[in-house]
Chain A
Amino acid sequence: MKPDYSQLLELVSEMGFRLMLSGAEIYRVEESISRLLQAYGAERGEVFAIPNCIIVSLTSPQGEPMTQIRRMPSHGTDIYLLERYNDLCRHLCRETPPFQEALAQISDIERTHKVYSLPVQLLAHFLGCGMFSLFYGGSVWDGLCGGLCGMVIGLCLALTSRLGANLFFKTIAGAAVSAFAALALTAAGIGQNPDSIIIGALMALVPGIAFTNAMRDIMAGDMVAGISKAAEALLIGAAIALGTALALGLIHLLIGG
């Protein structure tokens, strides 16, 4: 079968785009694309990806070069999608179905995608953050307050995401709101230990993901991608500190303590 190179280009860049959108590391995106190209019999294909962009270039047997560039919008991490796309990519490499069928399978995954509803997500925030408050040495009441602050962060993130705010702003807002909530709960006499409440709630914002992925990228030799993600992680860490400091400072000013 002689592959139609423009359709092949469309298929592989769509696959790479979807993988990266669900939070795959750079080396996984590049490797998946080059395996797909090999599976479909394109000898001369090159791919280059950095966190905001994927470039795929092909040369057809007649010697015509073709390139597609996909710009990445800002995205989060969705493990469910990531696993599904990864499985599909393996399947495509093994079976090499016709392009239309492959594209249909890709959009099938998007159609059957399931996310947890907002209440479940808030519950997850409650569980995660509350448990981290206990983990950082809080009492049972602190755990409860930490969970509530975590829910506040969850609500704040959902709201600011809907407004289309950037990551830095979202983090500052979330950190500030949760610190306010923690201090209010402590002032109301429910929480005893504002430190562990705030730390527990902040765990919902810490850049663990960005940092781990950055390390894995650097390890795989993608220095540009790794360094830009590591910078992002540092920036988020700074944003957490700034947001919390903002709230604590304001309270300090208002109460005048």
Chain B
Amino acid sequence: MEQFTYYLPCIYAFLACIGFSLLFNIHGAAGMLICAGGGALGWLVYLLAAPLVHSDITQSFLAALVISAWSEIMARLRRCPVTSYLLVALFPLVPGGGIYYTMEHAMSGETALFLESLLHTLGLAGALAVGVLLVASLARLVTNYQNGHHRLPGGKRP
């Protein structure tokens, strides 16, 4: 039973990402599998990190790091825009539940709970953002370094 708690959510995330990759008009099995694989991988990291860090914001951050790195690598390999893979693979981490529970607390007039879940939702979104940002900046540094020798001073990268 223990293993199912790891496998099942990842499989759900995988299939859900396949559904959403259709919605963003991704054609071709390879693209879909990369997106869905990224989503499942991210959630696996999220779950595996749980006993280590005990905070879902940090878990989200780590998962976002892994997903961005995966998307950057895949985009380099297939010479495609990174966005294509990143958009769909991040879906399982988007705090949809947070938005819903925040709304629910607001409706039932529980101000303390409302504020708490609002800040928590924003925290999760912030963790995602920082994770994506960090990897994207590093990837940019690497590209700039690789292209460094044929680059004009002050110009855009070629």
Give the complex CA separation of A121 and B21 in angstroms. Answer: 10
Using known A-B contacts A135-B16, A212-B90, A216-B136, determine if residue A203 contacts B81 with beta carbons closer than 8 Å. no
| Partner-binding segment picked from A1-9, A161-169, A241-249 | A241-249
CB distance from B11 to the nearest CB of A (A): 9
Q: B12: which A residues are within 8 A, CB to CB?
A: 131-132, 134-135
Closest to B28 in A: A80
Are A128 and B128 in touch, CB under 8 angstroms? no
Are B22 and A120 in touch, CB under 8 angstroms? yes
Contact among B16, B81, B103, B158 with A28 in the assembled complex (CB-CB below 8 Å): B81
Are B16 and A203 in touch, CB under 8 angstroms? yes
Category for how many chain A residues contact B = 35 or more
| Partner-binding segment picked from A67-75, A81-89, A102-110 | A81-89
Judge if B137 is at the interface, Cβ distance under 8 Å: yes
Are B16 and A127 in touch, CB under 8 angstroms? yes
Are B96 and A203 in touch, CB under 8 angstroms? yes
Give the complex CA separation of A7 and B99 in angstroms. Answer: 48
Category for how many chain B residues contact A = 35 or more
Q: B27: which A residues are within 8 A, CB to CB?
A: 80, 114
Cβ proximity bits A181-193 to B, threshold 8 Å, 1 near / 0 not: 0000000000000
Cβ proximity bits A232-253 to B, threshold 8 Å, 1 near / 0 not: 0000010011101100110000
Are B99 and A212 in touch, CB under 8 angstroms? no
Q: B123: which A residues are within 8 A, CB to CB?
A: none
Closest to B134 in A: A219
Q: Give the interface SS of chain A, mostly helix, strand, loop or mixed.
A: helix
Using known A-B contacts A131-B12, A211-B125, determine if residue A136 contacts B132 with beta carbons closer than 8 Å. no
Are A241 and B103 in touch, CB under 8 angstroms? yes
Are B99 and A237 in touch, CB under 8 angstroms? yes
Are A128 and B16 in touch, CB under 8 angstroms? yes
Are B81 and A127 in touch, CB under 8 angstroms? no
Give the complex CA separation of A204 and B88 in angstroms. Answer: 11
CB distance from B154 to the nearest CB of A (A): 13
Are A124 and B19 in touch, CB under 8 angstroms? yes
Are B84 and A79 in touch, CB under 8 angstroms? yes
B25, B31, B102 interface centre (most CB from chain A within 10 Å): B25
Judge if B29 is at the interface, Cβ distance under 8 Å: no
Judge if B153 is at the interface, Cβ distance under 8 Å: no
Judge if B15 is at the interface, Cβ distance under 8 Å: yes
Q: A255: which B residues are within 8 A, CB to CB?
A: none
CB distance from B118 to the nearest CB of A (A): 10
Closest to A135 in B: B12
Judge if B26 is at the interface, Cβ distance under 8 Å: yes
Q: B22: which A residues are within 8 A, CB to CB?
A: 116, 120-121, 123-124, 127-128
Q: A38: which B residues are within 8 A, CB to CB?
A: 158
CB distance from A236 to the nearest CB of B (A): 10
Are B16 and A216 in touch, CB under 8 angstroms? no
CB distance from A19 to the nearest CB of B (A): 9
B residues at A contact (CB < 8 Å)? 8-9, 12-13, 15-27, 31, 79-81, 83-84, 86-87, 90-92, 94, 96-97, 99-100, 102-104, 106-107, 125, 128-129, 132-133, 136-137, 140, 156-158
A residues at B contact (CB < 8 Å)? 23-25, 28, 31, 34-35, 38, 77-83, 86-87, 90, 114-116, 120-121, 123-129, 131-132, 134-136, 195, 198-199, 202-204, 206, 208-209, 211-213, 215-216, 218-220, 237, 240-242, 244-245, 248-249
Q: List 12 A-B contacts (CB under 8 A).
A: A24-B81, A78-B25, A82-B81, A116-B25, A123-B22, A131-B13, A131-B16, A202-B100, A208-B94, A215-B129, A216-B83, A219-B140
Across the A-B interface, give the 3 residue pairs with the lowest CB-CB distance, nearest first.
Answer: A128-B19, A127-B19, A124-B22
